[in-house]
Structure 1
């Protein structure tokens, strides 16, 4: 559902970097023509195989290859992220295969944590059974959708806030366990609310709105981890050492 916003985010990144685009040295690059031919061949192959995703990927490659040919590598380098970000608006249906494992992981972890809290609960497949509630972690509740949304959001945040290529990827990959943990927390919260306020409220109103709350918490964790990555620990250690010596 967030796919419609992705092109606007890519355009916003280009607008934000417009001064760098204007300042970049521009010249025709023949390798860009090779990229264009590769993109057109991918589209032909996708059409022959009736694989729409291949054609969509070729369109993204073509969008990157045309400026590469006319303006050169300096411009193409600046376009790598905004063009690659368009992948998030391609329906990657093969990721649906992750839904089952995510369901089982979320159910197993939620069951273990509920038992550790002293709550009488049994797990049957992807169902949590208790005298107080009966929850079925279905495919839409596997956390896959929130995982895709979280990675898309984190990609932009990491691109703008992290200084090095490695830190950008570390923060991006960190969004995956954050999203999974957020979904597990949501299941546990539904169980706890069902115990205290009744299953109708827990699996009704709380179920519908808890996702927004926990997604907000996940975003806060992502921002916090990003700030930790930007801390210069060497300078921090030196300042602590200097303060300790002055105090002594």
Structure 2
């Protein structure tokens, strides 16, 4: 898709410069740059730009990859995101090819901002700023090369890719959730006549101590469920209200599922002790996520069937 766009862009730029500035045209011819411009067009100058952009982030790739393909990571939804991106460009291929290329200088704002973020992040060793600079630079280059129309089409991909960059301080979100879930779990155990109390993210049950860790908050499974939902309903022609319902179901299912997970671990420790609790914790987490995913898939299918029935 980018190849014909690049050649068109270079042709338009060259013609505009030649018409507006004869001296510039003479300088190109006399300096030997004409073959160079032809060669860059042949090898797709836009792809070279995006490749140069990726080189800036080579040092971050090992750490980012480790987060993307780690099931216990908040960013473990990345494989689902790859599926979405592939499906997105397959679905939008015709629309992208028909989109008029109209480069705009509006791209200078995110481009310059992204460069400042990248420079500051590297100098101050702030991964958050360095990571946020990537979508800004990418957006600026898209606007400068292809214009607003194409940029708006691929905006969902840019947003999801921005969320997948492993630089967000997730611990600031998980810590209050850990404390809240520990408190809720202790109250439920007391309601069931099991002596328990919570202190911070710890649950004290008789002689046992259960700590609600960051992985038990459901933030990681929630991120994966939300991206899977987006993957499922983005290509459906359903109302915004129904999409909102799907997101709400995801939040509720993730929250309730992780309370059940913590309670099951508590019961396991009460009746079996600490031996084997780590493995139980891991497998019950997988089971809760699989069950939550199954419920979400059924809800999506139900809403789709409802849409088809209504149209008939």
TM tier relative to shorter chain = 0.7 to 0.9
1:30-70 CA-partner distances (Å, limit 9, x unpaired): 32344333332332343344322222222112223322222
Higher mean Cα deviation, 32-41 or 157-166?
157-166
RMSD: 3.3
Q: Specify the alignment match of 1:206 in structure 2.
A: 280
Contact 1:29 / 1:68 at 8 angstroms: preserved in 2?
yes
Residue 223 (structure 1) aligned with residue 297 (structure 2):
yes
Q: Specify the alignment match of 2:117 in structure 1.
A: 42
Superposed displacement of residue 211, structure 1: 0.5
Count of residues paired in the alignment: 235
Q: SS of 2:169's equivalent?
A: helix
1:69-108 maps to which residues of 2 (within 5 A)? Answer: 69-108=144-183
Q: How far apart in 2 are the matches of 1:167 and 1:9? A: 23
1:93-134 CA-partner distances (Å, limit 9, x unpaired): 422112221111111222222333x24131131333335964
What is the TM-score when the length of structure 2 is the normalising length? Answer: 0.62
Q: Specify the alignment match of 1:124 in structure 2.
A: 198
Q: How far apart in 2 are the matches of 1:166 and 1:92? A: 31
Q: How far apart in 2 are the matches of 1:209 and 1:87? A: 30
Higher mean Cα deviation, 84-93 or 130-139?
130-139
1:157-194 CA-partner distances (Å, limit 9, x unpaired): 34334634565455446533432222111011222334
1:1-248 maps to which residues of 2 (within 5 A)? Answer: 1-2=67-68, 3=75, 5=79, 8-9=82-83, 11-12=85-86, 13-116=88-191, 118-125=192-199, 126-131=201-206, 134-161=209-236, 163-164=238-239, 167-168=242-243, 171-172=246-247, 174-195=249-270, 198-200=272-274, 203-226=277-300, 231=306
Contact 1:162 / 1:226 at 8 angstroms: preserved in 2?
no
Contact 2:257 / 2:292 at 8 angstroms: preserved in 1?
yes
Higher mean Cα deviation, 38-47 or 57-66?
38-47
Superposed displacement of residue 20, structure 1: 2.0
Contact 2:131 / 2:167 at 8 angstroms: preserved in 1?
no
Q: How far apart in 1 are the matches of 2:247 and 2:99? A: 28
Q: How far apart in 1 are the matches of 2:84 and 2:115? A: 22
Q: SS of 1:124's equivalent?
A: strand
Q: How far apart in 1 are the matches of 2:122 and 2:193? A: 55
Higher mean Cα deviation, 70-79 or 39-48?
39-48
Superposed displacement of residue 209, structure 1: 0.2
Q: Residues 80 and 194 of structure 1: is their aligned pair in 2 closer, same or farther, counting only changes over 3 Å?
A: same
Q: SS of 1:188's equivalent?
A: helix
Structure 1: gaps of 5 or more residues: 240-248
What is the TM-score when the length of structure 1 is the normalising length? Answer: 0.76
The structure with the larger Rg is: 2
